Amino acid sequence: MSSAVRTRGARRRTKVFPRGLLAALSLCVCLCVGGAVASSSAQEEEDSAMENIVTEKRAEASHRQDSADLLIFILLLTLTILTIWLFKHRRFRFLHETGLAMIYGLLVGVVLRYGIHMPRDGDNVILNCNVNASPATVLVNVSGKFYEYTLKRVISSTGNKLDDMSDNENEMLRKVTFDPEVFFNILLPPIIFHAGYSLKRRHFFRNMGSILAYAFLGTVISTFIIGLLMYGTVTLMKQVGQLGGDFFFTDCLFFGAIVSATDPVTVLAIFHELQVDADLYALLFGESVLNDAVAVVLSSSIVAYQPAGDNSHTFEGMALLKSFGMFLGVFSGSFALGVATGIFTKLRDFQLLETALFFLMSWSTFLLAEACGFTGVVAVLFCGITQAHYTFNNLSPESQDRTKQLFELLDFLAENFIFSYMGLALFTFQNHVFNPMFIVGAFLAVFVGRAANIYPLSLLLNLGRRHKIRSNFQHMMMFAGLRGAMTFALSIRDTATYARQMMFSTTLLIVFFTVWICGGGTTQMLSCQRIRVGVDSDQDNSMGLVEGPEKISTKQESVWFFRIWYNFDHNYLKPILTHSGPPLTATLPPCCGPLARFLTSPQAFENEEQLKDDDSDLILSDDINLAYGDITVDTDASGHMSGGFASAMSSEALDGELTYGDSEVVMRGTRLVLPMDDSEPPLKDPHLLF
C-alpha cells in the first residue's frame, strides 16, 4: 500500500494540491482540505528528502483522506436508506427519512468530535508582508522554486485570535466541513428544481391566489414579525449583559427572512402517503416552494440594505427602497430567465438525447442566472414550473418518466445529504454560539411569525374565497411550518460574525425541533384536527367544508388576469411551444390559416382527438377543449388582441370547469387511525408522487 501511494503520487506534478475535489455523479462535494496531512509523516522518512516527493505524497495522502471523509457521508446515506426501507416496510410514520438522516448525522458528529482526535500540524507558515491589499494569488519563492497559493479565507482581523484558532481547530472537524457554497451551487438546485417540476399543477393553479398570498405577503409578514421580536430579544439581552457582540436590526431582519422559508417535506410525504385532501396539499406545497424563493431574495435584499462597508445600521428610507427595487429586479430577472429557458426544448424521437437536453437546459438556467447576477435557485424553480407546464408535453412518454425519476433521485440524495450534514454540523461546526435567551426568543418568534402569516391571511383570503379555508386546515398549515434545507443553507452561508454564528446555531435547533417534533406528530395532528385521509384527489375537491352539500362556483378564485392569461396560454402559447393543446388552426381566425398551420406541430393535430383524456393532470385543460370550437375572435394576424376578447371568450367554459367535480361535498368525518398493522406497501400514485 505504501508503494501504491508512491505510484499515484508521482503522477501528479502539475497538481500539487488536489483541493479535495473528489466527487462523482450527482453529489459533487468540495471537502475543505486545509492543512497538510499528519499521517503522511511516517512515510516521508523512508524516502529521499526530495521535496517533490514529499509534496506529492502529501497530495496523495490528502486525496486519500478526502476519499475517506466523503465515504463517511456516503455510508451515512446508505445507512439512512436501509433504515428507511425498514421503516417503510413496517409503516412507521413518526420519523421521516430526513429526520433519520439528521439522527445518524448527529451520531457521527459525536464520534468525530469526541472519539477521534487529530492534532493540527504546525505546517502553517506565517509570512509578514507589506502589500496593502490581499491579492487573490500569491507566488511564494521558496529557495528558487515558485509556488502558487490561492486565497482561501480571511482568518481574523487581530493577531490574538489567530493563535486561538490554531489551537482550537481540530483538523478532523475541519475536514468534514463543506464550503457553504456547495449547498447553494450543488445541493439546493436539484431540490428546488424538483419541487417546481413536481408542483401538482391543477390544484396548484386553482389555489394560485391563496398560495401567492401566503408565499409573498406571508413571508414578508413573517420576516418582519420575527425580525421585530428578535430585535426585542436582542435589546433585552443587551440590557442583561448576555450579548457577546454586535447584533443590529438588519441582522434580526435577516434572521427573520431565513427562518421564514418553510420546508414541510416530512409533512407532505405523510400527506401523500395518506392521501390527504389535495387542496390542502397544494396550499402547503405551493407555499413552501414559493416562499423559498421569496426568502432567498428577501434575505439578500436585507444584506444589500446593510452594506458591509459603512457601519450605519440605522433605518434609512432610501436604502429600503433600493432593497425593494432590488428584490423586484432579482426576482423578476430570475423568473424571466427560468421561464425563457424552460420553454425552449422541443425535441423528440431519441430519449437519451431528450433527457440529456432537458437536464442541460435546466442546469444552464441556473448558470445563466448566476452569471447575470441573479439568483440561480429562484431561476431554477421557475424553470422547473415552466418545464412542467410546457416542455413536459413535448417529451416522449419514456423521457417524461426518465426526467421525473432522475430529478426525484437527485432530490432524494441531495435532501438526505443536507439533513445528515445538519446533524453532523451540530457537533463539528467550530464556532457555535448557543445563547439560551436568544434560542427561547427565536422559538417564540418563529411560532408567532408563522401564526401571523397563516391566520390573518386565511381570514382575508376567506373573504374572497368561496372555498373557505377551514380552521382545521389553518391549524394544520400552522403546524406544518417546518424549517429545512433552505433555512440551513441560508444560515450556513455566512458564519463570520458573532451575530451570524448565533443565528446559525439557533437555526440548527429550530430545524431539529420542527422536523422531529412537528414532522413526527403529523399523523397525530391530522387525526386530532379531524382532517380526512384517503381522499382520491381526482374525485373530491372540497376545501374541508362541513356546511353540507353546496354547489360552489370558484369564479371568485379565478381573477380576471388569471383568466386572460389562462386563455392566452391554452389557445396560443401551448400550441406554439408544445405538441399538445388545440391546433392553432382552430384557435386562430381562418384568415391566419397558413401561419397557423406553419406554427402548429403535426403532433398537435394527431393529439387533438385524445386531448380530453390525456391532459387531466395539466392545468384545467380536461374540459377546455370543449370551448375552443366556438370562439369569436377579434384579433388580427399579428396576434395582438384585446383583453376583453379573452375574458369574454370562454369564461363560461372555464367557470364550468373550475367547479368541475365540486357539485357534491361529502364529509364523512373520517377519524384517522394509525395504520401500523397492515403489511402491504402503498401503491404509489405517479401523479401525486412526482
Cβ(567)–Cβ(688) under 8 Å? no
Report the 10 Å Cβ neighbour count for 136: 8
Q: Which residues of 403-433 are buried (b: 16+ CB within 10 A; e: fewer)?
A: bbebbbebbbbbbbbbbbbbbbbbbbbeebb
The residue among 561, 542, 566 whose CA lies nearest residue 653 is 566
For its own copies, which stretch binds (CB under 8 A), given 173-181, 276-284, 466-474, 617-625? 173-181
Rule CB under 8 A: choose which of 111, 117, 149, 663 binds its own copies. Answer: 149
Q: Which is nearer to its own copies, 140 or 440 (CB)?
A: 140
Q: Applying CB under 8 A, which part among 117-125, 386-394, 525-533, 639-647 lies near its own copies?
A: 117-125
Q: Where are the alpha helices (DSSP H) in 429-516?
A: 436-464, 471-479, 485-492, 498-513
Q: How far is the CB of 159 from its own copies (least distance, A)?
A: 7
* Nearer Cβ to its own copies (417/512): 417
Q: Which of 262, 285, 267 is nearest to 197 (CA)?
A: 285
DSSP state of 213: I
Q: What nine digits make up the cell of 648?
A: 369574454
Angle among Cα 519, 522, 523 to the nearest 5 degrees reads 140
Residue 496 or 517: the one with the smaller Cβ distance to its own copies is: 496
Fill in the per-residue mask, 529 to 568: x = in contact with its own copies (CB under 8 A), - = not in contact. Answer: ----------------------------------------
E strand or H helix that includes residue 496:
none
* Residue 680: CB minimum distance to its own copies, A: 10
Is 681 near its own copies (CB under 8 A)?
yes
Phi, psi of 142 (to 5 degrees): -105, 105
Dist CA 537 CA 274 (whole Å):
12
Instruction: Kindly state the cell numbers that stand for 431.
Output: 464556532
Q: Given candidates 111, 320, 460, 496, which one binds its own copies under the rule CB under 8 A? A: 496
| Residue among 392 and 690 whose Cβ is closer to its own copies | 690
Q: How far apart are CA 417 and CA 26, in angstroms?
A: 11
C-alpha span between 76 and 70 (Å, rounded):
10
How many residues sit close enough to its own copies to count as binding (CB under 8 A)?
153
Residues forming a β-bridge with 311 = none
Nearer to its own copies, 363 or 605 (CB): 363
User: Hey, what amino acid is at 68?
Assistant: A
Q: Which of residues 272-311 bind its own copies (CB under 8 A)?
A: 300-301, 303-304, 306-310
- Contact residue for its own copies among 45, 114, 134, 666 (CB under 8 A): 134
7 binding its own copies? (CB under 8 A) = yes
547-to-246, 328, 524, 607 alpha-carbon distances in Å: 54, 41, 25, 42
**For the purposes of burial, counting CB atoms within 10 Å of the CB of 369, is it exposed (0-12), middle (13-18) or buried (19 or more)?**
buried
**Run of H or E including 539:** none
The residue among 5 and 573 lying less far from its own copies, judged by its C-beta, is 5
Residue type, 170: N
Taking each helix axis as running N to C, give the angle between helix 498-513 and helix 436-464, from 0 to 180 degrees, rounded to the nearest 10.
Answer: 60
CA 239 to chain centre: 38
Instruction: Kindly tell me which of 411 and 662 has the beta carbon lying closer to its own copies.
Output: 411
Please list every residue from 30 through 59 that binds its own copies, using CB under 8 A: 30, 33-36, 47-48, 50-56, 58
Q: Which is nearer to its own copies, 306 or 393 (CB)?
A: 306
Question: How near is the Cβ of 687 to its own copies at its closest, in Å?
Answer: 16
- 129 belongs to the binding site for its own copies (CB under 8 A): yes
- Give whichever of 404 and 467 is closer to its own copies, judged by the CB atom: 404
Closest to its own copies by CB, 325 vs 594, is: 325
67 binds its own copies (CB under 8 A): yes
Site string for its own copies, 86-115 (x = CB under 8 A): --xx--------------------------
Out of 45, 115, 143, 666, which residue is the one contacting its own copies (CB under 8 A)? 143
Note whether 318 binds its own copies by CB under 8 A. Answer: no
Assess 324 for contact with its own copies (CB under 8 A).
no
198 binds its own copies (CB under 8 A): no
Site string for its own copies, 413-442 (x = CB under 8 A): x-----------------------------
Nearer to its own copies by C-beta: 18 or 209? 18
- Does 366 contact its own copies by CB under 8 A? yes
Phi, psi of 139 (to 5 degrees): -100, 125
CA distance 97 to 539: 30
Answer yes or no whether residue 683 interacts with its own copies by CB under 8 A.
no
Stretch touching its own copies by CB under 8 A, among 152-160, 220-228, 453-461, 566-574: 152-160
Dihedrals phi, psi of 483, to nearest 5 degrees: -110, 145
Nearer to its own copies, 124 or 670 (CB): 124
Integer Cα distance of 620 and 565 in angstroms = 13
CB of residue 183 to its own copies, shortest distance in Å: 11
Site for its own copies in 201-260 (CB under 8 A): none
Q: Which DSSP helix (H) or strand (E) runs through 261? A: none
Instruction: Determine which residue in the list 494, 540, 569, 655 makes contact with its own copies, applying CB under 8 A.
Output: 494
Handedness of CA 445, 449, 450, 455 (dihedral sign): positive
Binding to its own copies, residues 501-530 (CB under 8 A): none
Under the binding rule (CB under 8 A), the answer on residue 670 touching its own copies is no
Q: How far is the CB of 215 from its own copies (least distance, A)?
A: 21
Query: Does 602 participate in binding its own copies (rule CB under 8 A)?
Result: no
| 328 scored as a contact of its own copies (CB under 8 A) | no
- From the list 39, 116, 117, 135, which residue makes contact with its own copies (rule: CB under 8 A)? 135
Would you call 212 exposed, middle or buried from its count of C-beta atoms within 10 A (0-12, 13-18, 19+)?
Answer: middle
Instruction: Tell me if 153 contacts its own copies by CB under 8 A.
Output: yes
Integer Cα distance of 164 and 162 in angstroms: 5
Of 663, 659, 667, nearest to 533 by C-alpha is 667
Instruction: Decide whether 214 or 358 has the Cβ nearer to its own copies.
Output: 358
262: three-class secondary structure by DSSP: strand
Amino acid at 448: V
Task: Check: CB of residue 298 under 8 Å from CB of residue 223.
Answer: yes
Q: Of these, 111, 116, 320, 371, which contacts its own copies (CB under 8 A)?
A: 371
Residue-level length of the chain = 690
Q: Does 409 bind its own copies (CB under 8 A)?
A: yes
Q: Does 594 bind its own copies (CB under 8 A)?
A: no
